[in-house]
Amino acid sequence: MGGTGIVVAEDSLLIREGLRTLFDQDPDVELLAAVGSLPELFDAVEAHDPAVVVTDIRMPPTGYDEGVRAAEELARTRPGVGVVVLSQFLEPEFALRVFDGGASGRAYLLKERVGDLEQIHRAIAAVADGETVLDPSVVDALIEGRRRKASSVLDRLTPREHEVLGLMAGGSSNAAIATELVLSERAVEKHISAILQKLDLAADDGDVHRRVRAVLVYLSETSG
């Protein structure tokens, strides 16, 4: 046929056949195989050597992150294969994983784009050429997440207080923190007191409980 050879991985028969119909209408694409699970996807890639894989993000065997795992594995084993990941929902953390191994030849789109043959075709052509495509809705979600992080309660802390809290989160005692930061233990105690006040942790919770809660705040705001 001469078009870009692709393998489709989608566990929903309805969507899989819909994609087959779309691609049958596209002279620039040659559908080599359509499968419904991650193991079948890897088998199809081995058998057909496609230029591009179009995969659902969730499918058997776990129904959690197979599309992301496919992108990660292909980045290691077949870096020349482009991957278009389709997701039902806005999942920025999965989108970031798709691009962690390198953004070249990767696309992340919402499934609502499936009916738009032109957009799907552009994504396939882009990843085949080593380019990157990220759904605008995911970009908006990432920007919003960054905006929320920018207004984190941790912004109330001074740089030194950030250091102290980070060491607390690592399990360091006051004495260990003092040694690490070349401070007196009294100075460390003052920093911790200021941290607890700025994080609105009530004094009547008890010192140990307040420290634990402060660490939980730190971990929740800095993870992901």
What is the pLDDT tens value at each position of the chain, 224 positions in all? Answer: 568 999 999 999 988 988 888 888 888 899 999 999 999 999 999 999 999 999 999 999 999 999 999 999 999 999 999 999 998 877 777 887 887 767 789 988 988 877 777 888 889 999 999 888 888 777 666 656 655 555 577 788 898 998 898 888 777 889 999 999 999 999 999 999 898 888 887 565 566 667 777 777 776 665 54
Residue with tokens 């607890």: 196
Helix, strand and coil in the chain, % to nearest 5: 60, 15, 30
Strand partners for 84: 54, 107
How far is it, in rounded angstroms, from Cα 119 to Cα 125? 10
How far is it, in rounded angstroms, from Cα 207 to Cα 204? 8
Full set of structural domains in the chain with CATH: 4-146 (3.40.50.2300), 153-222 (1.10.10.10)
Query: Judging by beta carbons within 10 Å of its beta carbon (0-12, 13-18, 19+), is residue 202 exposed, middle or buried?
Result: exposed
